[in-house]
Structures are given as structure tokens and as C-alpha cells.
Amino acid sequence: MNLILVDQQELNNGIVTLTDRRCTHIHKVLRGQVGDEVRVGLVNGPIGRGRILTLEPQRVVLDLTLDNQPPPRPMTDLILALPRPIMLKRVLSQAVQMGVGRILLINANRVEKSFFSASLLKNDAMRTFLRLGLEQAMDTILPEVSIHPRFRPFVEDVLPAMTKPANLGLVAHPTAAATLPQACPPPQRGQRVLLAIGPEGGWLDFEIERFQEQGMRPFSLGPRILRVDTAVPALLAQIELLRAACVR
């Protein structure tokens, strides 16, 4: 936890009282003392510091000064064929750590339909894992998350508004002929990238064709087949390297 996140409703005239794992973190990891300052961020708001006013075994009270703006919303959006819930927990945190502006969870032929009934997708349960990623990355801006249980309506009705000419659409596919650098030029400064990653068994040809009709470019990571929770951070890292090369 590199940043202690607090919600707006927890604040009382700039004071916040922590009684959960954040309290434990200040005690056991930071070894805080009264008067010490810790890094604090407001969810979807500014970043700053919190001065410890009270330090009790089950309660820590902080006086907050939030005077720094968070990093800008990342310029990469992730389309993800819905993985099994236990893997989705890891992927959500990893994706947020790497930096994504939106996460769109979609259906595909090789996605088990029961995944869309998982409790993780209900009652804002995903927020816990998104916050873990923000805490690690020292960010406060939660990515937008949407769920799309039907593939064709997503591709035909939602995707066209995202694949504008100014954006760069990419779809990972194990049998694609081109690698990522071959499939696209480096993203330009300020250009949004839309990255689609399929289920464990890969996209069907029909699905790849629908993506291509919307201007998405297929590419491969090479001969090795990766698990989704490996492919997500690996590909997001490659995209950031391409961005850095373009800036130079």
C-alpha cells in the first residue's frame, strides 16, 4: 500500500478515522507515531498527506492536507473477455497498476456464461480490487468499468464509438501474423489505445473478423500462449514502451 485511499463520505472537516486494514497498515508496516505524516489520496480526487492525530490499536485518526492533483486518466482502455472470477480479481488489480482508463468486460464464444452471474460483478464488489491497484500505483482515479454480456451488440453498437480514426484499436490473437510493433505505429502523444484481450482459448475467427470490421488490428505476442493474467500486464507494458519511443 503505497497510498492510503479514503472516500469522500469518510471525511469530516478534513479529518478521517481509520479502523480497517488501513489502520493495520499504519501500525504494522509504516510503524507510524503521533505527528507522523503518511501519503493519502481521495478516491477520484487529489493526493496529499495525513498527519497522525490519534494512534490506538484499533483506530487511527488523520488530519488530511490534499493539495496535489492525481496523474491524468490513462490513455489506454482494456476490452477483456470475461475470465473466471478468481482470475478477474488479479487482472483488475494488475490492469489498474499498469494504468487503464476504462475496463470493458465482454462475452465471447469461449467465455463460460456462468461467469456473468458471479457475485464479483454485483454490488460494486470489483471496487475492492480496483482500489488495490490504485494503492500500489499511487493513483486515485478509478477506471470506468462496464459489463457487456452479449458479444455482437457490443461490437456493433458500443465499439464503433470507441474506434474513432484518432484512436488506435488493437486485438491480441495467438495466430495473428504480426507482432505488436509490426501491427501498428507507435501511439502518438494524446492518442487513445483500445486493447482487446480474449479468453484463455482465444478469439474465434468470427470474433476477430468483427473486430477488424471496426478497425481493430490483430497482433500476436509470439509463439508462447500466455494466461490472461500474464498477458494483460505484459501487453499494457509493451504499449507504454511504444508510447515512450514515440515521445523520444
Residue with cell 504494522: 28
Question: What are 4's strand-pairing partners?
Answer: 40
Note whether 186 and 117 are same-domain residues. yes
What whole-number distance in Å separates Cα of residue 248 and Cα of residue 237? 17
Q: How many structural domains does the chain have?
A: 2
**Residue 111 backbone dihedrals phi, psi, to 5 degrees:** -95, 130
pLDDT tens string 65-88: 999 999 999 999 999 999 999 999
Note whether 132 and 208 are same-domain residues. yes
CA distances from 110 to 24, 46, 134, 218 (A): 41, 41, 30, 18
Q: 117: which 3 cell numbers?
A: 452471474
**Residue 105 backbone dihedrals phi, psi, to 5 degrees:** -95, 120
Question: What are 77's strand-pairing partners?
Answer: 102, 194
Note whether 93 and 57 are same-domain residues. no
Confidence category of residue 223, pLDDT binned at 50, 70, 90: confident
Confidence category of residue 231, pLDDT binned at 50, 70, 90: very high
What is the span of the domain harbouring residue 219? 76-247
Checking if the pLDDT of 247 tops 70, the result is: no
Task: Decide which of 23, 44, 68 is a domain's last residue.
Answer: 68
Note whether 188 and 145 are same-domain residues. yes
Averaged over 167-172, what is the pLDDT?
Answer: 91
Note whether 205 and 132 are same-domain residues. yes
Task: Report CA dihedral (15, 20, 25, 28) to the nearest 10 degrees.
Answer: 110
Note whether 103 and 225 are same-domain residues. yes
In this structure, the strands spanning 102-106 and 144-148 are parallel
Is the model more confident about 195 or about 178? 195
Note whether 112 and 61 are same-domain residues. no
Report angle CA 205, 171, 87 to the nearest 5 degrees: 95
Note whether 141 and 221 are same-domain residues. yes
Q: Where are the beta strands (DSSP E) in 69-137?
A: 76-81, 102-106
What whole-number distance in Å separates Cα of residue 126 and Cα of residue 28? 26
Is the model more confident about 89 or about 190? 89
Note whether 10 and 95 are same-domain residues. no
Q: 43: which 3 cell numbers?
A: 478516491
- Tell me if 94 sits within 8 A of 132, measured CB to CB: no
Note whether 143 and 48 are same-domain residues. no
- Find the range with the poorest average confidence among 3-12, 129-138, 157-166, 195-204: 157-166
The CATH number given to whatever domain includes residue 230 is 3.40.1280.10
